[in-house]
Amino acid sequence: MSSVMSLNIQQIMEMLPHRYPFLLVDRVLELEAGVRIKAYKNVTMNENFFQGHFPGQPIMPGVLIMEALAQAGGIFVVQSLDIVSGEKLFLFTGIEEVKFRRPVVPGDQLMLEASVVRRKMNIWKMQGKATVDGQLVAEGIFSAAVVDKGK
99: phi then psi, degrees, rounded to nearest 5:
-135, 135
Decide if 50 contacts 35 (C-beta within 8 A): no
Q: How many Å apart are CA 109 and CA 8, to the nearest integer?
A: 16
How many Cα atoms are found within 13 Å in the side-chain-facing hemisphere of 131? 9
Q: Are strands 36-42 and 4-7 parallel, antiparallel or unpaired?
A: unpaired
Residue 18 annotated in active site: no
The single residue of 53, 119, 125, 129 carrying the catalytic annotation is 53
Strands lying side by side in the sheet with 4-7: 4-7, 27-32, 36-42, 109-120, 123-132, 135-148, 88-100
What amino acid positions are annotated as catalytic residues? 53
